[in-house]
Amino acid sequence: MAKEEGYRSRAAYKLKQMDERFHFFRGARYVLDIGAAPGGWLQVVSEAVGEDGLVVGVDLRPIEYLELGNVETIVGDILDEEIMDEIRELLPGSVDVVLSDLSPNISGVWDVDQFRQIDLATMALKVSQALLRRDGWFVVKVFMGSEYEAYLKEVKAAYRKVNIVKPMASRKGSAEVYLVARYLRRRRRAR
């Protein structure tokens, strides 16, 4: 279905379904998408924010050019401190939505994979706290392993409202959920 409708990933539908429920792109202008390759979410956000908006995608892997005027991409590692400078060069001081669909390269060893994934999600949380406007939205994928509860607690400590979502478009039996968080309690100076 994703290919037929011109989206680069089936993940695009997960984002659309979540937005239909929460409307996090309503009125949004500036969006950061972390772990953005191959670019399905970027396509969805590009449509949602319109010509005056801007979405910046970051990924370790280069994102093939999308031919969309309101999309910029950065090739880089979100775990690398200097990436924040690059992001800040493109986005204003205060961002409306931070998205993270970050997944590590899957090793097949569940414990290893979920630890790595939580590390990535933890970095996404810090980035969101440094960049989001107070009533902005943070949407993050999380693998539901042994570290999940602790991570959920961290997100709840950072945001007043946190929803746990399993999009219909997720593969059946997959151990991933998305947290949709809003109302930052306190902004971080740096991540």
Ligand X SMILES: C[S@@+](CC[C@H](N)C(=O)[O-])C[C@H]1O[C@@H](n2cnc3c(N)ncnc32)[C@H](O)[C@@H]1O
Q: Which CB atom, from 41 or from 159, has the smaller least distance to ligand X?
A: 41
- Could you give the residue ranges of the DSSP H alpha helices within 23-159? 40-49, 83-90, 110-131, 148-158
Of 31, 37, 45, 66, which lies in the binding site for ligand X, with binding defined by CB under 6 A? 37
Q: What one-character-per-residue DSSP string does 147-184 give?
A: THHHHHHHHHHHEEEEEEE--TTSPTT--EEEEEEEEE
Does the annotation mark 141 as catalytic?
Answer: yes
Task: Work out whether 8 is an interface residue with ligand X (CB under 6 A).
Answer: yes
Q: How many residues bind ligand X (CB under 6 A)?
A: 23
Of 120, 121, 127, 132, which lies in the binding site for ligand X, with binding defined by CB under 6 A? 120
| φ, ψ dihedrals at 44, nearest 5° | -65, -45
Q: Which of 3, 126, 141, 166 is catalytic?
A: 141
- Could you give the residue ranges of the DSSP H alpha helices within the chain? 11-22, 40-49, 83-90, 110-131, 148-158
**What does the per-residue mask of binding to ligand X show for 77-96, with x meaning CB under 6 A?**
xxx-----------------
- Do 40 and 6 form a contact (C-beta atoms < 8 A)? no
Residue 56 Cβ, how far from ligand X at the closest point, in Å? Answer: 12
Task: Work out whether 124 is an interface residue with ligand X (CB under 6 A).
Answer: no
Classified as helix, coil or strand, 34 is strand
Task: Work out whether 38 is an interface residue with ligand X (CB under 6 A).
Answer: yes
Q: Which CB atom, from 104 or from 167, has the smaller least distance to ligand X?
A: 104
Q: In Å, how far are 8, 14, 71, 129, 139 from 155, measured between CA atoms?
A: 29, 21, 28, 10, 11
Task: Work out whether 98 is an interface residue with ligand X (CB under 6 A).
Answer: no
Of 96, 101, 113, 147, which lies in the binding site for ligand X, with binding defined by CB under 6 A? 101
- Which amino acids are annotated catalytic? 141
Residues that bind ligand X (CB under 6 A): 8-9, 11-12, 35-41, 58-61, 77-79, 101-104, 120
